[in-house]
Structure 1
C-alpha cells in the first residue's frame, strides 16, 4: 500500500480477502475464483493526476479544494507528477487481456499480475520486511 491511497488500498485488501475466502468456499462446486492484481494503469484517474496543475485543480470540486487547501494540493500534485509508478503506468488493456484469459481458461490462475509493476515491483516488495518496503515505496513515490 502506498501513501496517499489509504481508502483505495483498504478496499483492495478487502476485495482480495473476500476473493480468497470465496475461492475456498466455491472449491467444492468446482467454481474458480481469480484475483487480478495490476500495478498502476494509465486510467483516467492516473491521467488526471499528471495533468498540468491548473487543469488538475479545476477537475476537483470546490469542496475538495477548500478542505485540502491549495498548498497541500499543489505539493501532492507535484509529487504525483514525479512519481515513478505514475510515470511507468501500464496500458489498461493488459488487465482486460488477463480477465479474458481467466474467464476463458478451464484452469485459471489464482492470481494474475498484469503489467510490469505488479510482478517486478509490488510482489517483491510484499515479501520484504516492512521497514525496507517503506523505504523503497517512499523513494518510488
Structure 2
C-alpha cells in the first residue's frame, strides 16, 4: 500500500546504509549496497503500490457488516500474489521466493566465504 513508509523506503534505506560503520559496509560491500539501493527504485510492488483506503474500507466492512467476509483481499497484490502464495504448499512458496528474490550481486562477506 502507498503509505509514507513505502514511499520513503528507498531514501531511508540509503540514509541508513550511509550511517553504517566501516566494518559493516565492508562486510556487505559497495557493489551489493549499490545494487540494493538501485533495485529498491525499480521494485514493482513499491512502484505500483495502491491507496491504503482499500484497507480501511475492508476493515470498515468487517467491523460493521452483519455478514463479514472470512477473508479480505484488498488490492491487486493481495489478490494475485500473496493470497495465492498462502494457499499453496510451503515448498512452492519457498521456490517462488528463491527464484524471484535471488540476487545477482552477493554481499562481500558471502562472496569471501564462497571462494576456495
TM-score (norm 2): 0.61
Check the 8 A contact 1:85/1:140 in 2, yes or no. Answer: no
* 1:97 is the counterpart of 2:54: no
Q: Determine whether 1:117 maps to 2:77.
A: yes
Residue 50 of structure 1 contacts residue 80 of structure 1 at CA under 8 Å; is this kept in 2? yes
Distance 1:89 1:95, change over 3 A: same
For 1:1-141, what aligned pairs fall within 5 Å after superposition? 41-51=1-11, 56-58=13-15, 60=16, 65-66=20-21, 68-69=24-25, 71=30, 72-138=32-98, 140-141=100-101
1:77-125 Cα offsets, whole Å, 9 max, x none, are 2222222222221111111111111121122223211111111111112
Aligned equivalents of 1:91, 1:139: Cα separation in 2: 28
SS at match of 2:68: coil
Check 1:140–1:83 CA distance in 2 against 1; reply closer, same or farther (3 A cut): farther
Q: Flag structure 2 segments of 5+ consecutive residues without an equivalent.
A: 102-116
- Report the aligned-residue RMSD: 2.9
**Highest Rg: 1 or 2?**
2
Secondary structure of residue in 2 paired with 1:112: coil
Alignment partners' CA distance in 2, 1:102 and 1:68:
45
Asked if 1 retains the 8 angstrom alpha-carbon contact of 2:54 and 2:74, the reply is yes
The unaligned stretches of length 5 or more in structure 1 are 1-40
Displacement of 1:47 in angstroms is: 0.9
TM-score, normalised to structure 1, is 0.52
Cα 1:45–1:78 change in 2 (3 A) is same
